[in-house]
Structure 1
Amino acid sequence: MQKDTKRNLFVAATYGAVLLLGLLLGQNYADDNRQSGTSTLLPLGLGHTGKVQRMIDLIESNYVDSVEVSRLQDLAIGEIVAQLDPYSEYLYPQAALRQRQALEGSFEGIGIEYYKVNDTLITVGLIAGGPAQQAGLRVGDRLIAINGDTIAGVNITEKAIDEKIRGRLGTPVTILVSRNGQALPQPINITRKRVEVSSVDAAYIIDSAMAYIKISRFGAKTAEDFTQALAQLKKAGAKRLIVDLRENGGGYFDAATALASQFFNDKELLVYTEGAHEPRTDYYSTADGLFGTGALAVLIDEQSASASEIVAGAVQDLERGIIVGRRSFGKGLVQEQFGFGDGSALNLTVARYYTPSGRCIQKTYPKNHAILKSPTLETATVVGTEQSESSGWQEPQSRHPQRANRPVLTGGGIAPDVWTPVNGLDTSAWYKRIRRGNLIEEYVYGYLAKSVPAYSVENFLEKYNLPDWAYSDFLTYVKTRGITYSAHEARAGKPRICTDMEALLGRFYFGSEAFFRVRNRSDETLAIAINALSGE
């Protein structure tokens, strides 16, 4: 593996990366990755024997009934891959395309994000400068019909809606909408175009010298987007930086190393990879970074995986900054994607990666390794300055000898330098049911979110507070959905749930950055990081 390889190296359990673009309609996913072969039948010879393919050929030629050969091949591949590690994965064509497009950060479509409330689609986000916004669609519009077909009140599936809106670049789609309770007299005509989506969710100055950048995934343009945002923040006077990688499931390997390079001088070892068929390859910072000096904190949590862990591991091992939060997910394996002629693909683990001090942060995984596919928040308590996490697969911990000033813990994941506790509400069964049911989103978009207000985003961030009646009304709504709660639970949940609702309103009115700026006002982990950097 050369440093400048163009192969698609994934270090992500892509659960996090696909969430954003999964909401964006109108995508006509192009195959931007190389394809190997042109046959729609996938060769499955094992070793030099070719037994699997031979068996499928015999079935196709001799079995008593007609069979769908491609389905047999898919089943065989799935069973083979299941015997490997948790991250080697066979993807059907549509899944492979969606995964690649999510990480590429662009797609062909109209750039609309919607939410379904009471069998009606509500526009809750528009890509700035995208086709839908340019054509006149507004946040808050309710979609009634697409290309003349009614979609409101007919219990249509999201897949069916997606199929109606998706199409080739340059082709038209018409959408009839209701605005402020009245159907517009004419549908809005939108031409599908290429839409770019940044993986930098928020970038702003916290105070006169401290900046915050939130990164949702490591896609093809993440390093470029990050560098542009960082340059603007430095112009505004930022001398201290907090990089938020919480809930970032990873992405492209090269994006992680390119972003990490911004924190170091030239030729610093950031990470290296090695595998049975892959010789050791070292990855270095490529130039003096834009933020090579200045106080730095990186925020991580249980869902920070792979590419996020590469960045955090380099910052920690090389003592460039502090890591704040909770132990990261623990994914130290690298996947390469091999494409097939029918659009399907195999994400195959080809190497392990190691932090500069030689740590492999991959958790050992049980035989039933499917449990690692979707990381979930584990119950945690704070003991002294470190955190004890209840986990069926927690790694043994020991001190790593190489780092002089602040020895680090080995074992699965990156253990932070400054531990923060899990919010008790996150482990509450009541709150979990509310989150799983998307009840906060349903209530905000269905009952609170109206037309964009006249006041500015600055006024909203500084002065807006949820009306007193809103939380009581929300609790009534929760009861109608069959979720009961105690008086104690209702009192304990009020601050967090009100913040959740205010943040969603900020996003609805003013975009992604407003969401994080509202949520961050009461974020304990961020407050700890700010306090830690303020003394440096």
Structure 2
Amino acid sequence: MNFQKKYIPLLLGIGIALGVFIGGKLNFSDTSDRLFTSNSKKDKLNRLIDYIDYEYVDQINTDSIVDVTVNSILDNLDPHSIYIPKSEMQSSTDNLKGDFVGIGVSFYTYKDTVTVIRPIEGGPSEKAGIKGGDRIIMANGDSIFGREWTNEAIIKKLKGKKNSKITLKVYRPGEEELLTFKVKYSDIPIRSVDAAYMLTDDLGYIKINRFAESTYKEFKKALDQLQDKGATKLALDLRDNPGGLLDIAKQITDEFLENNKLILFTKNKVGKIEKSYATRRGDFEEGDIYILINENSASASEIVAGALQDNDKGTIIGRRSYGKGLVQREMSLGDGSAVRLTVSRYYTPTGRSIQRPYDKGNNTDYYNDYYKRRSNGEFENPENMQISDSLKFTTPNGKIVYGGGGIIPDVFVPLNTSRQNETLNYIKRRGYVSNFVFEELDIDRTIYDHFSITDFIENFSVSDALVERFQDYLNLKERTNISFVNYHDQMKTLIKSELASQLYNSSTSEQIINETDTMIEEVILLSKANETLDN
């Protein structure tokens, strides 16, 4: 099976959908008179839609025509100007807002039943007493199990207004009677910080998955805790981070740069330039900083990496980033839908644009750039990167940096493209490990009750028998004959990481995965080498 061609990388293209979002909003109904004047082009479009609505021989939904028209217009602009239909606005807004109103459970439908994987830490379901493995059978007296219940229908049924309550009937394995829980709807955070812990005695680690409204507060809390533990160096992991809010990226960058250092500047269509500078409030200006990026690190992630690189601060580690240097502003269209339109370009402090080239109206090649870069061998060898000498810039300390498509790291770490690694990535993307681990835990969760998080990380070992059971499970699902002989240890790490995710939290899971991560190993080596040089 050719995994490279057949399956799209897990987070490829998320940067396109999320991007750098400037944060300001316009409302079409409120500002149309100010922003737009009446002209024949708009009259022409309106008259055509009205003509179809009133005279076309068949019944047709003119809303769908409008959607197609808007998308067609935006497709002829740039790859990052997008239309968000009404049906997608809530999830899009929640993703940038950083929280939503809910009951606070991670679940999936197991054998036609809503099954709790894990209640969100500190959330209303955990406070009410709901546990991993519980089956939610009824909500406010209505049954919510059976084949007819899709995930969308379940989520809709479990939604409610903040501070109101929902009564849940729950089946818990081992209990004879259904349990009743009254759960209060609350703000549920969508975590931006996946992990925060100490890699060594003085080297902290923080992984950020996107830049939402809550991200800076999460990051600052994690940074303060690591500094209290003795962190004088920090590894900031922005791999696979598609970006988000521009202001949040600037706030995080400000933590590392001295007062009045330029973070970035933007330029709009008329050439107006707006510059953003660091302030006095940074708490990590003296510490060593290592930024981890890869080919899926986009927009806001590139702002952080580019600002630090251009100010000769810290070390950028990994592979060339996505290459998105366009800024969007959202405008409501009055019917619950919105457009995020590119309104300016951003530039790093040396003046380079890291937006990779695109042809207007031809986004296919732009979206397929990942495959082009991979086939060129760029992910395995930095010598294969296509760089233009005309886009060469120099930092204050004389370091050469390049524009024209992504941030090029100071220290290159190749992508593991072995067949074994491709197979493991495929298994993860398909969710087989997650489902298998859930079923294992469902047999008897109590065997893990005596493990603290630290004890689990340091002392728990996945048995050979467990790996063999997963191998049998996978071969049954795939109807194939995959063997883990050549990567037995890697499979143990994957299973242990998923166990940690379902038993504890994402931070514990990341910590286990990172124990065998080559980029993390490189950071630790560089940190120790720099320490030797300083001494």
TM-score normalised by length of structure 1:
0.86
2-structure distance, mates of 1:121, 1:219: 29
Q: Which amino acid aligns with 1:109?
A: G
Residue by residue over 1:31-56, the C-alpha shift from the partner in whole angstroms, topping out at 9 and shown as x without a partner, is: x96644289xxx99996521211211
The one of 505, 514, 518 equivalent to 1:520 is 514
Q: Which amino acid aligns with 2:273?
A: R
Q: 5+ unaligned residues in a row in structure 1: which ranges?
A: 1-10, 18-31
Pair 1:104 & 2:97 matched: yes
2-structure distance, mates of 1:518, 1:293: 29
Percent identity between matched residues is 32
Task: Tell me the SS of whatever aligns to 1:315.
Answer: helix
Residue by residue over 1:273-331, the C-alpha shift from the partner in whole angstroms, topping out at 9 and shown as x without a partner, is: 11214611111112241100111100011111100000001111111000111111111
| Per-residue deviation, 1:107 | 1.0
Pair 1:218 & 2:214 matched: no
Q: Name whichever structure is richer in helix by fraction.
A: 2
Q: Which amino acid aligns with 2:189?
A: E
2-structure distance, mates of 1:384, 1:440: 27
Q: Which residue of 2 aligns with 1:49?
A: 41
Q: Which residue of 2 aligns with 1:493?
A: 487
1:16·1:248 contact (CA, 8 Å) conserved in 2? no
**How many residue pairs were aligned?**
503
Q: Which residue of 1 aligns with 2:11?
A: none
Alignment of 1:371-390 (within 5 A): 372=366, 378=374, 386=382, 388=384
Q: Which residue of 1 aligns with 2:29?
A: 37
Task: Tell me the SS of whatever aligns to 2:265.
Answer: strand
* CA gap 1:397/1:127 in 2 versus in 1, 3 angstroms: farther
**Larger displacement relative to structure 2 (525-534 or 430-439):** 430-439
Q: Which residue of 1 aligns with 2:469?
A: 473
| Per-residue deviation, 1:395 | 5.9
1:16·1:247 contact (CA, 8 Å) conserved in 2? no
Task: Tell me the SS of whatever aligns to 1:534.
Answer: helix
**Larger displacement relative to structure 2 (255-264 or 136-145):** 136-145
Q: Which residue of 2 aligns with 1:13?
A: 16
* CA gap 1:373/1:474 in 2 versus in 1, 3 angstroms: same
Q: Which residue of 1 aligns with 2:285?
A: 292
Task: Tell me the SS of whatever aligns to 1:159.
Answer: helix
1-structure distance, mates of 2:19, 2:159: 23
2:352·2:402 contact (CA, 8 Å) conserved in 1? no
**Larger displacement relative to structure 2 (199-208 or 304-313):** 199-208
Residue by residue over 1:458-503, the C-alpha shift from the partner in whole angstroms, topping out at 9 and shown as x without a partner, is: 100111111111111111111111253565xx23333333212111
| Per-residue deviation, 1:339 | 1.0
Q: Which residue of 2 aligns with 1:402?
A: 394
Pair 1:258 & 2:254 matched: no
* CA gap 1:239/1:428 in 2 versus in 1, 3 angstroms: closer
The one of 346, 349, 364 equivalent to 1:353 is 346
| Per-residue deviation, 1:14 | 4.0
Task: Tell me the SS of whatever aligns to 2:117.
Answer: strand
TM-score normalised by length of structure 2:
0.86
Q: Which residue of 2 aligns with 1:8?
A: none
Q: Which residue of 2 aligns with 1:24?
A: none
Q: Which amino acid aligns with 1:13?
A: I
* CA gap 1:519/1:92 in 2 versus in 1, 3 angstroms: same
Q: Which residue of 1 aligns with 2:307?
A: 314
2:379·2:415 contact (CA, 8 Å) conserved in 1? no
| Per-residue deviation, 1:97 | 2.0
1-structure distance, mates of 2:97, 2:157: 23
Q: Which amino acid aligns with 2:278?
A: S
2-structure distance, mates of 1:478, 1:46: 62
Residue by residue over 1:111-130, the C-alpha shift from the partner in whole angstroms, topping out at 9 and shown as x without a partner, is: 11113344443322323222
Pair 1:61 & 2:54 matched: yes
Q: 5+ unaligned residues in a row in structure 2: which ranges?
A: 1-13, 531-535
Q: Which residue of 2 aligns with 1:114?
A: 107
Task: Tell me the SS of whatever aligns to 1:503.
Answer: helix
